[in-house]
Structure 1
Amino acid sequence: MPLPDPDRAALGAVAEHYGLGLSGDEIDEYAPVVQGLLGSWNAVEELYRAEAAPSAPQRAWSRPETGENPYNAWYVTTSITGSSSGPLAGRTVAVKDNTAVAGVPMTNGSALVEGYVPAEDATIVTRLLEAGATIAGKAVCEDLCFSGASITASTGHVENPWDTTRTAGASSSGSGALVAGGHVDMATGGDQGGSIRIPAANCGLVGHKPTWGLVPYTGAFPIEATVDHVGPMTRTVHDAALMLSVIAGRDGRDPRQPADLVPDDYLAALDAGARGLRVGVVREGFGRDESEPAVDDTVRTAVTALADAGMQVSEVSVPWHLHGPRIWDVIASEGACSQMIDNFGYGLNWKGHYDPELMDHFGARWAEDGTRFAVTVTLVLLAGRYGLQTGHGRYYAMAQNLAPKLAGAYDAALADVDLLVMPTLPLRPTVRPAADARPPEILARALEMLGNTCPFDVTGHPAISVPAGLADGLPVGMMLVGRPFEDATVLRAAHAFEQAVGGFPSPSQSAVPA
């Protein structure tokens, strides 16, 4: 669609926005030059349509009928196959609805994205299909992925298969519920503050947040480029390693990825075992203000299984771990306000692959009706925009400059041990608030669990959540963290733990909807 020619009122609004102090006559002087310059905008669109615009394939999809949507976890269902052979042949995968499957609607959990149909598969979707997987559908995620509890998606709450009154964890809530409930073999998740590991912990699954840049984010809806991750959610560590081996590696379109990146064979790495690995139990990961003693006790008991599996266990202290959430707050709030909202998802000023149709669709929708932002996104906008306009970006800049200090604190600990361990979450899955809950209760439930997970989105270290056990019948997750790009070591230790405890439990059949 050609860019409309601006009239005096439109240019006057721009001048007022920047405080240019132009009179109407002065605007008229600029107008023909502006209009001439804007001709390049239309020329670029013509070139893009002729040379670069993708064309969406025709793929069948359907919205599940009422009563046929377990845990309210599916947005749409599909049955898309690529290769008939490969390491994932015969395996079903749910794709988080922040990640593009070409020809299939995507909402990113938000009414403000409803109606968008991507024309290209995300890189990880292409790789899954080439490996023989069947894409079984799009799994519900939280509204714009900004919540740690399954309570803000525009399609309604997602239920936890272990106790359907409780949160499944988020933002990859549908992915967690569908895998835990046995409706798919594996799923993709996205993680900016813990959103692979949170639902993995709440649903009794394995959730691996890869090293930042190991897996291309191309084709997933961004929040903030410096904390965006995608990765596997599975029932077993074996399957997490298998999926990671399929989706990791450069795609040439994501500048997060190092030029010399060569992924490991993560599945083969499991055979090396974990005997002799040194594990540091992070003191600051336990006994937080929000911690439940039952969670801490369950994880400390699980740590003994690490020792039984031949790992050397000691306690370490990383005081900066307690600063991590504050640093994340600023980066995630101001960064998302600027990139995801003000600059329509993808932001500007980087040499990555963009989705111009998504940017236009989302930008137009939220500009029409900002009242449709979720409570969590409204909080981010209020705080993030206030911080940006008051500090002119200096708080974001300070937080990003502190990020290497935070990473260095973990790296210093990881110089003496191979892995760090702590509870994934301080809490067991909490009861979802009522439909008429007010913002303070919704925000409390959505953000209460992030303390141990979000720092590693800032630093980019690989981190996996595995089921540590049950506390009063509810899953508790244990998180293992490794050195950057040593994802294989993290998976080795997690696999050894899984073998030592004899596998991980599944939800009782009584919790599964008929």
Structure 2
Amino acid sequence: MSVFFDSPINDESIPEGEAELLLSGIGITEGIPPSESSEYRKLLAAVHDVAEHVLELTDYIAPTDTQKYPRESLHRPSQSEQQYGNAWAHKFRINGNASGILLRGKSVCLKDNIAVSGVPQFFGTDAIPAWTPSSDATVVQRVLEAGSTIVGTTICENFCNSTSSFTSAQGTVHNPYAKGFSAGGSTSGGSALVGGGVVDIAIGADQGGSIRVPASFCGCKYTPLHGSTNYGTELQSSVSGMKIGVLLEGFEHRLVDETVKDVVLNAAYKFRQLGATVEQVSLPLHLEGPAIWTIQQRIAGTLGLMGLSHGRRGLFSTEFEAARRPWSNESFPKLFPSTKNTIINGLSLMKNYPGLYAKTMNVAQQLRDSYEKLFQRYDIILMPTTPFVAPPNLDWQQGDSPTAALKPSMGITINTAIFDVTGHPAMTLPVGFAASNVDLSVKLPVGMQLVAGLWQEQKILDVGFAWESANDWKKVGSEDSAEKKVAFKL
């Protein structure tokens, strides 16, 4: 059903043959008989009038109380102020609610895709000009009300489209444990600053592993996913009586480094010492997760990059859309290959596989249901967060090989992306170190991913807290790994 204005329709705003031209773009060349062309032109003119009317409406901007929470000392940091290469996007200070309790005394940094009123955003790119949000994101309001102090925004990767940390147009971010190595992405700057002890908390976003990957590489922890977490509940340090599954498919993928496997198995074995039942479980469908995520992300990601995001109620960043549109022969070439690849892949999939997205949604539901059956028997399942430790950063420039630019990220999300598809809460916990494959003298953090049933964030927090209460992750290793492999039949 269409809604039309009562006012007369002037079809002069629509060129003759426009309806036919639009249909030809989807391969339909005989969809409108010539006798109906003028009528569809008039119908196009009607929706054109509606669109023009909506453009004239005043945009709704969520109110931001900058009187209560003024932005102080806002500036783009000089190179001498930067840390871990180029971790900061902008530095500033917003003091939180003096009566806030949960985050009182904590410093917080925000990924540079989270809106802070009055603070310019780069989004890791120079393909489009920086834009300045008019309102704070909800999470900004909440951390301020909880009493924290926001100290800046941090570099994210190019359009948040990489798990490397050299793709941002604002500069490379280095691992806090080894300069020249990846901090992971796309929440690269925040993870480096938290992993290096500069900031207490980083707020990021995770659509395939963009928090868990850099957190694993930098020795950080926790990604709250879908659902609500009761942050007022005290964490439990006992796992006695709990059942924990060691997911076979999460370890046996060909990309999983043997040392990473050993470190995570050793960490899993320690749950037995804490009173939990720990045993191997198998879910072969887990291996299909990356393929399902890839199709969904390429299509949905392309729609977002083209300004066509839809399906959710909420406030949209019209400032970003104004800066982004339209893609041109000047702006598109400046994108990093991962972002170009998303758009090219997405356009191809929508053209050549128009029904495939629907099938991925069905298989995603199958994955979700299959995991839920596992969680009827187990409180937690675990696996390596990433298959290998942080690789070296590349010195990549526009004009260099696109596939070379993408290679360091390939395979990193084999265990993380699937839970963005299913919606299960997943946390990465640092559990030791492993040597870099390119330099055995460089030791880098290893993350263990803990996954719980839907709406069960509290369980992963309790289990993670129990493990770190009993162990110093910087001192544990992969000792007796052969014994652990036998114990779990790996």
User: 1:474 — aligned with what?
Assistant: 444
The offset of 1:390, in angstroms, is 0.7
User: 2:416 — aligned with what?
Assistant: 453
User: 2:396 — aligned with what?
Assistant: 435
Counterparts of residues 303-382 of structure 1 (less than 5 Å): 303-338=268-303, 340-344=304-308, 347-364=309-326, 369-382=331-344
User: 1:244 — aligned with what?
Assistant: none
The offset of 1:162, in angstroms, is 0.6
Q: Aligned in 2, Cα 1:115/1:296: closer, same or farther, shift over 3 Å?
A: same
- Whether 1:497 and 2:467 are equivalent positions in the alignment is yes
The offset of 1:357, in angstroms, is 3.1
Which AA in structure 1 matches 2:341? L
CA distance in 2, matches of 1:317, 1:15: 48
- Report the secondary structure of 1:407's partner residue: helix
Q: Aligned in 2, Cα 1:172/1:9: closer, same or farther, shift over 3 Å?
A: farther
The offset of 1:367, in angstroms, is 7.6
CA distance in 2, matches of 1:26, 1:357: 39
| Alignment deviations for residues 18-46 of structure 1 (CA, whole Å, 9 cap, x no partner) | 55668999977766664454333333234
CA distance in 2, matches of 1:289, 1:185: 35
User: 2:346 — aligned with what?
Assistant: 384
Q: Aligned in 2, Cα 1:36/1:482: closer, same or farther, shift over 3 Å?
A: closer
Identify unmatched segments of 5+ residues in structure 1.
215-262, 507-514
User: 1:8 — aligned with what?
Assistant: 15
Contact kept, 8 Å, 1:151 with 1:446, in 2: the verdict is: no
CA distance in 2, matches of 1:179, 1:93: 9
Q: Sequence identity of aligned pairs in percent?
A: 32
- Report the secondary structure of 2:235's partner residue: helix
CA distance in 1, matches of 2:42, 2:279: 71
Contact kept, 8 Å, 1:468 with 1:475, in 2: the verdict is: yes
Q: Aligned in 2, Cα 1:29/1:409: closer, same or farther, shift over 3 Å?
A: closer
| Alignment deviations for residues 319-352 of structure 1 (CA, whole Å, 9 cap, x no partner) | 11111111111111122112x12335xx134433
Contact kept, 8 Å, 2:236 with 2:465, in 1: the verdict is: no
Which AA in structure 2 matches 1:69? Q
The offset of 1:487, in angstroms, is 0.2
| Alignment deviations for residues 384-441 of structure 1 (CA, whole Å, 9 cap, x no partner) | 211110112x111111110011112222221111000111111011011222452212
- Report the secondary structure of 1:288's partner residue: coil
- Whether 1:59 and 2:71 are equivalent positions in the alignment is yes
- Report the secondary structure of 1:93's partner residue: strand
User: 2:242 — aligned with what?
Assistant: 277
- Whether 1:118 and 2:128 are equivalent positions in the alignment is no
How many residues align? The count is 446
CA distance in 2, matches of 1:138, 1:9: 49
User: 1:224 — aligned with what?
Assistant: none
CA distance in 1, matches of 2:37, 2:96: 56
- Whether 1:74 and 2:74 are equivalent positions in the alignment is no
CA distance in 1, matches of 2:183, 2:104: 28
Rg larger in structure: 2
The offset of 1:211, in angstroms, is 3.3
CA distance in 2, matches of 1:363, 1:23: 34
Q: Aligned in 2, Cα 1:23/1:362: closer, same or farther, shift over 3 Å?
A: farther
CA distance in 2, matches of 1:35, 1:438: 46
CA distance in 1, matches of 2:105, 2:258: 42
User: 2:384 — aligned with what?
Assistant: 423
TM-score calculated relative to the size of structure 2:
0.84
Contact kept, 8 Å, 1:376 with 1:446, in 2: the verdict is: no
CA distance in 2, matches of 1:68, 1:10: 58
Contact kept, 8 Å, 1:112 with 1:365, in 2: the verdict is: no
CA distance in 1, matches of 2:46, 2:281: 63
- Report the secondary structure of 1:75's partner residue: strand
Contact kept, 8 Å, 2:14 with 2:44, in 1: the verdict is: no
- Report the secondary structure of 2:209's partner residue: coil
User: 2:48 — aligned with what?
Assistant: 38
Q: Aligned in 2, Cα 1:85/1:298: closer, same or farther, shift over 3 Å?
A: same
User: 1:407 — aligned with what?
Assistant: 368
When the two chains are superposed, the root-mean-square deviation of aligned CA atoms in Å is: 2.6
| Alignment deviations for residues 331-380 of structure 1 (CA, whole Å, 9 cap, x no partner) | 11122112x12335xx1344333233322322235686211221111222
The worse-fitting range, judged by mean Cα deviation, of 65-74 and 478-487 is 65-74
User: 2:205 — aligned with what?
Assistant: 190
User: 2:99 — aligned with what?
Assistant: 85
| Alignment deviations for residues 459-481 of structure 1 (CA, whole Å, 9 cap, x no partner) | 01000001110113210000100
Contact kept, 8 Å, 2:14 with 2:45, in 1: the verdict is: no
Contact kept, 8 Å, 1:498 with 1:504, in 2: the verdict is: no
TM-score calculated relative to the size of structure 1:
0.81
User: 1:246 — aligned with what?
Assistant: none
User: 1:235 — aligned with what?
Assistant: none
Identify unmatched segments of 5+ residues in structure 2.
1-11, 436-442, 477-490
Contact kept, 8 Å, 1:8 with 1:24, in 2: the verdict is: no
User: 2:8 — aligned with what?
Assistant: none
Which AA in structure 2 matches 1:40? V
